[in-house]
Amino acid sequence: MIRPLAILALSVALAGCDGTPEQHNAAGTPAQPRHGGVLRVAFDGDPNCIDPQQAGNNTALNVGRQLVDSLTDQDPQSAEIVPWLAERWDISDDSRQFTFHLREGVTFSDGSVLDAAAVKANFEAIVALGALAQLAGTYLAGLESVQVTGPLSVRITFKQANAQFLQATSTMSLGLLAPATLARSAEERCQGALVGSGPFTVDSFTHNKQVRLQARGDYAWPSSLAGHQGRAWLDAIEFHILPESGVRLGSLLSGQIEVNTSVPVQDEAVLDAQGLPAINRPNPGIVFNLTPNVSRPPLDELAVRQALNKAIDRQQLQGVISRYQKPASSVLASSTPYYQDQSAHLAYDPQGAAGLLDQAGWRTGADGWRQRDGKRLSLTLDYWQATTPVLELVQQQLRQAGIELRLNKSTIGQVILQQTSLDYGLWFFNLTRADPDVLRTVFLSTGRNVNVRGPAALDQVLVDSAASLDGQKRGALIARASAELLDQGYVIPLVEAATVTAMRDVVRGLHYEASTRLQFYDTWLAQPGSP
């Protein structure tokens, strides 16, 4: 069974690195953080559903992160898991049992107490959401029980070893919502009926127009990684939905917005020339790729899938992506823990691709297209992301191999509907997570199973990789699983993503968390012209 996959917009970087903006300010005493102001942020698409426990797309998760707190946090530099709502935790030797000891005094914005019972209610509610919990449900796969062992102590037990779970507790997907919110319908929650314990609350949500968040005045329990204590500096955040890149660029340059979260390559030079600061960070997790539905011809043929990998010249893709991105060298991005270079499995080999297709009976016709039994070797890709130059170049490369790739840009809603109903041949996506268990989440045949394949030996490798707390053993299993995914043509990697955020120079303190989503708690607005 397949579930809707989190799909993240392909973003590019301008300046700065690893979440630290380059400064372009006059000399003088640096301005100090101050309360006040409404930050206007541009998204390139509608969030669709802003409930972080259900959401999968990047815009929705960027909203959700501001509404909920998590049991733990993850240092974006070291990948270390550190305290947040949980002051400490204990893990059993077999990594099946996790006991969290919560901090006192935390409340949801409706005044209800965030205690062990609330944690239990949240995790059980996520399991009850089923496939609607696009990411959160996979993090809790195999959950056996959640036990309240004290007012502020909760024990989570899994049926099998689950080494990835601690990192999962740092994500907004396992962020905590008030019991009153859990009692609402999934649709109501998607549309903004959300009460969390985070630094912001939902003020309004109008689809394809705007999400407005309001700062919570009594917030007092930030992550141990936070730069300050107390309420957020900002009074409010307005996320404006501006699908056209030219509109986002013009709005940023004119000061109608302060932050642009999606900058296409062609705008880099303009923003550089204007001296606007930006932050960027490589996205850990699964790279942008084409994933074949192996239950449908012609992608049910191993030779066709292997030929796709050999027919793509990934180094050539560098010409149409940002200078801060790079061609894929594995299923996993190089910023992911336990990443290993798998470039040898992705070498450009047009002769090898031709040989595979010839042997499979796909012969080159007079028009240059590969054909068999009078039928052209043709594939269709429906996508919604702003990545047309990458896909058009891939289309041209496959054309040289005689393979037709039909590109159909659509809306995120339409694409998700096709994927949910398994009505696709190729799936274009990336999935950001700062843990290699993202492979098991996506490719396990009893999990999300994006390939729509039957059971195989690969499944045991993926399961074993999630069980081991031994770093060396886990790394070897991840490398083995990655190689198998490539060799079987279950994934055709293209580009490593890098997320960028360009901004006006009055924006201070904006940064990425470990999963390369934006964290606005420490963000503040300086007076124009302030150093």
52-110, pLDDT tens digit by residue? 999 988 899 999 999 999 999 999 999 899 999 999 999 998 889 999 999 999 999 99
- Within the chain, all domains assigned CATH 3.40.190.10 are found at 38-281+500-525
CATH fold group of domain 285-496: Dipeptide-binding Protein; domain 3 (3.10.105)
Q: Taking the C-alpha atoms of 367, 372, 373 and 376 in order, what is their torsion angle to the nearest 10 degrees?
A: -50
pLDDT given for residue 23 in this prediction: 36
Q: For residue 8, is pLDDT > 70?
A: no
- Going across the sheet that includes 363-364, the strands are 363-364, 370-372, 375-376
pLDDT, residue 499, reads 84
> pLDDT at position 57, please?
85
| Cβ 363 vs Cβ 355: under 8 Å | no
Q: What Rg do the C-alpha atoms of the chain give, in angstroms?
A: 23
Give the range with max mean pLDDT: 259-263, 463-467, 490-494: 490-494
b/e code 376-387 from CB counts within 10 Å (16+ = b): bbebebbbbbbb
Residue 29 — pLDDT band, cuts 50, 70, 90? low
Q: Alpha carbon 385 to chain centroid distance?
A: 13
pTM over 0.75: yes
The label of the residue with tokens 């930050």 reads: 39
Tens digits of per-residue pLDDT, 207-224?
999 999 999 999 999 999
Q: What pLDDT, on the 0 to 100 scale, is given for residue 21?
A: 41
- Going by pLDDT thresholds of 50, 70 and 90, the confidence category of residue 441 is confident
Tell which residue, 32, 173, 207, 231, has the closest CA to residue 165: 173
- What letters, b where the CB count within 10 A reaches 16 and e where it falls short, cover 43-73? bbbbbbbbbbbbbbbbbbbbbbbbbbbbbbb
- In this prediction, residues 289-307 reach a mean pLDDT of 98
Mean pLDDT of 445-466: 93
Binning pLDDT at 50, 70 and 90, where does residue 387 land? Answer: confident
DSSP per position, 101-120: EEPSS-B-TTS-B-SHHHHH
388-400 and 302-311 are packed helices; what angle lies between their axes, rounded to 10 degrees? 110
Q: For residue 93, give the amino acid letter.
A: D
Q: 38-281+500-525 has which fold?
A: D-Maltodextrin-Binding Protein; domain 2 (3.40.190)
Q: Where in the chain is the domain with CATH 3.10.105.10?
A: 285-496
Residues 201, 214 contacting (CB under 8 angstroms): yes
Instruction: Report the alpha-carbon distance of residue 331 to residue 240 in Å, rounded.
Output: 33
H/E run at residue 427 = strand 426-432
CB distance 290 to 427 below 8 Å: yes
Using the predicted structure, report yes or no on whether residue 459 has a pLDDT greater than 80: yes
DSSP state of 266: G
Enter the tokens of residue 522. Answer: 């420490």
Torsion (CA) 224, 225, 226, 227 in degrees, nearest 10 = 120
Mean pLDDT of 235-250: 96
**Bridge partners (DSSP) listed for residue 376:** 371
Q: What is the largest CA-CA distance in the chain?
A: 75
CA 237 centroid distance within chain: 21
pLDDT digits (tens, 9 = 90+) for 170-193: 999 999 999 999 999 999 999 999
Angle, in degrees to the nearest 10, between helices 302-311 and 350-359: 160
